[in-house]
Amino acid sequence: MPTRTLTNKVVRRWKLRGPTHGSDLARDIERRLPTYCPENILDIGANVGQSTRAFRRRFPRSNIYCVEPVRSTFEELYKNTRRLPRVWQLQAAVGAQPGVARMECPPEASDRARILATASGAGANVATEEVEVTTVDLLCDRWQLSDVGLLKIDTEGFDLEVLRGATDVLRRQRVDLVEAEVAMNPRNDTHVPFESVKKFLEPHGYFLFGIYEQVEEWPSGGPNLRRGNVVFISSQMIERYRSSADRL
């Protein structure tokens, strides 16, 4: 009888943590963090509202704050999201410290706009635009957010700088889940390396929750991973939901 009980417990845990984990973040939150709903979502690099609208559908009770720096893209974002309930928009870039920066804005590819390291770093015949830069810490002050359920970052290689500007809220565990777009291949110089994000977040008490939207190395046709969206979870959340998993 004890053996059967132990086996059933292992089977139930396998179902909870099974091979489907990593295909749908909202579903994984529902399965692994039962009853949890992020009160506030920060969508950094919201583009024209794709992720904001998806968050609105999956988390109908959440407040969503979306931030996009490029003027024309922000106008599209605003048009696409202004009628959604509990959604706020801000035109700004997000980085390690407030200021101004210049962004490269590829024509017909708004989702690949990126902050330039130098003013002369733009590609040939590619438009640039000066943008205001703020930080996650300042955004939380601006919107009076005592906590952030999900901090989603998609900034075309600038994700680590965004995290550096969130040091205060991360240090105080005021963010439950952090999502960033990372490079899984050292030859991918477009995105921040996964190892760099992991090295930054773990000392703040954040550990890997899942890997999503995995993309193979399409430029070279290789079967290895090029990039993915990694989600880290705070130590506080781990402890809060550890007991519910142990009861299975």
**Coil vs helix vs strand at 1:** coil
Instruction: Please indicate, yes or no, if residue 235 is contained in any of the structural domains.
Output: yes
Q: Does residue 8 lie in a domain region?
A: no
Are the C-beta atoms of residues 36 and 12 closer than 8 Å to each other?
no
Per-residue confidence in pLDDT tens, the chain, 248 aa: 444 444 454 444 444 455 478 989 999 999 999 999 999 999 999 999 999 999 999 999 999 999 999 999 999 999 999 999 999 999 999 999 999 999 988 776 677 778 887 555 555 567 889 999 999 999 999 999 999 999 999 998 999 999 999 999 999 999 999 999 999 999 999 899 999 999 999 999 999 999 999 999 988 888 999 999 999 999 999 999 986 545 44
Domain assignment of residue 81, yes or no: yes
pLDDT of residue 45: 95
Q: What is the dihedral of CA 240, 241, 243, 248, to 10 degrees?
A: 170
pLDDT for 13? 47
In a domain, 16, yes or no: no
Residue 124 falls inside a structural domain:
yes
| pLDDT value at residue 112 | 75
Whether pTM > 0.85 for this model: the answer is yes
Q: Which residues pair with 41 in a beta bridge?
A: 64, 150
Strand, helix or coil at 77? helix
**Total number of residues shown for the chain:** 248
Phi-psi region of 240 (alpha: psi -120 to 50; beta: other; left: phi over 0): alpha
Pairing label, strands 206-217, 148-153: unpaired
From the list 195, 198, 192, the residue with the least C-alpha distance to 178 is 198
On whether residue 18 sits in a domain, the answer given is no
Is residue 15 in a domain? no
**Within a domain: 108:** yes
SS3 131: strand
Give the domain range for residue 90.
Answer: 25-246
Of the candidates 136, 142, 211, the one whose C-alpha atom is nearest the C-alpha of residue 171 is: 136
SS3 154: coil
Give how many domains the chain has, as a whole number. Answer: 1
CA–CA separation, 102 and 93 (whole Å)? 10
CATH code, domain with 180: 3.40.50.150
Contact in structure between 177 and 206 (CB atoms under 8 Å): no
